[in-house]
Amino acid sequence: MSRWQQSWRVLVVPYYLNRYARQVHVLRVALAFLAGLALVVASGMPHGGWMLVTILIVLGGVPHWGGVRRKALERMGGSLLGALAGLVAIVLHGVSPYACYGWMLMVIALSTWHAQGRGGYLALLTGITLVIVGGLGDEPINEALWRSCNVLVGSLIGMAAAATLPLRAIDSWRFLLADNLREAALLYNRIAQRFPLVDEAALEQFNDRLIRMRGLMASVTQESSLSSSQLERVQGFQRGIWTLLDRMAEVASVTPALAEDRSPRRAIVRTLLRAAHALRFNQPQLLSEPLPEADNPAAMLRPSHCHWLVAELALTVEALRRELQLILPLLIAAPPPARSLVRRLRR
């Protein structure tokens, strides 16, 4: 494969897009800004700076498609409502300045009231755009319309750039999950064979990925048909695996139960690795094989603490496998950003 082909793969393959997410994000912000700048310079649109500001607001601090889409749609909605409110303020100012100021005060009060709840960004932008478009009510109507137009065009450019080079939260989430499952398999295998952990760095990395996954959950639910309860269950299973591995690392040195012949170590490791591979390469068929039922420590003659930990780990891994068997097809079925953008704009 040529160097050009390898560079092109970075821009189209989800794995590489996420691996070089920061570079891709900088590239698409720069391209969107250049597109907006070229449009303003070529067309001579008045108040073109608002278009460039909007592009940076929509794209700058939100890398994932779900967040960009939500932010752009809320900005466009807030801009439309604020522009209409600003135009009303200009008309009222021609009748009575006090009527204009009373109208502006009422809109600002409503926007700040709703800014504390769901859709707060839209409500806040409504009030801000009112002031930008209407000023003190003495702004020319044509300038108010141009400012509104710039904000809307800037939002569309930002959404188009995000859809062209999509950094999806569902891809970041599943790749982090795949890394955690692979890490859990290697950790369990190492602990079971009594190999020392290097400063417990791997367990810390596992927990760091878990924290990063939680930060992606809101965007994942927006980009797919997954519910927050499904994502919470996956988070809970991972926390359970992390806790069990941490406890195993403490007691494995004083008992051979983890690595003995009847231990389900190989089956657990295989299930975790297959699940990680299924998530990374979109192969749900790898999740179809159930984990063999672990021996019940209560039926053993002299069960150790590790016997109970292994049995609990087997139950947790099997529950996670079943959950992923339901979730992965929904992740695969999530529409590409460009298609979901078209659907949104048609509604």
Identify whether residues 147 and 187 lie together within a single domain: no
Instruction: Report residue 51 as tokens.
Output: 């278009």
- Asked if residue 58 has pLDDT above 90, the reply is no
- Whether residues 136 and 64 fall in one domain: yes
**Pair (105, 186) in one structural domain:** no
What pTM was estimated for this model as a whole? 0.70
Q: By residue range, what is the domain housing residue 12?
A: 3-167
Q: CA–CA separation, 294 vs 189, rounded Å? A: 16
Query: SS3 of 296, please?
Result: coil
Q: Are 135 and 43 contained in the same domain?
A: yes
What is the rounded average pLDDT of the residues 278-287? 89
- Quick one: average pLDDT of 50-76? 76
pLDDT in tens, 302-314: 556 677 788 888 8
Boundary of a domain, candidates 167, 200, 233: 167
CA neighbor of 313 nearest in space, from 305, 325, 303: 305
Identify the domain boundary among 141, 167, 193: 167
Q: Are residues 177 and 142 in the same domain?
A: no
Q: Would you state the pLDDT for residue 159?
A: 80
Of 192 and 231, which is predicted with more confidence? 231
Classify each residue of 105-117 as buried b or exposed e, where b means 16 or more C-beta atoms within 10 Å of its C-beta.
eebbeebeebbee
Return the percentage of the chain with pLDDT > 70, whole number.
80
Q: At what angle do helices 49-59 and 21-43 cross, to 10 degrees?
A: 160
Residue 268 lies in a domain: yes
Q: Name the band, by pLDDT with cuts 50, 70 and 90, for residue 49.
A: confident
Q: Is residue 252 part of a domain?
A: yes
| pLDDT score recorded for residue 342 | 41
Query: In Å, what is the CA distance from 239 to each residue of 97, 134, 214, 317, 320?
Result: 60, 52, 12, 11, 11
Question: Residue 337's pLDDT band (boundaries 50, 70, 90)?
Answer: low
Position with higher pLDDT, 346 vs 44: 44
Residues 254 and 222 in one domain: yes
| One domain, residues 189 and 147 | no
* Distance, C-alpha 110 to centroid of its chain: 30
Residue 274 clears pLDDT 90, i.e. is over it: yes
Percent of the chain with pLDDT over 90: 19
Residue scoring higher pLDDT (70 or 91) = 91
Residue 83 corresponds to which amino acid? A
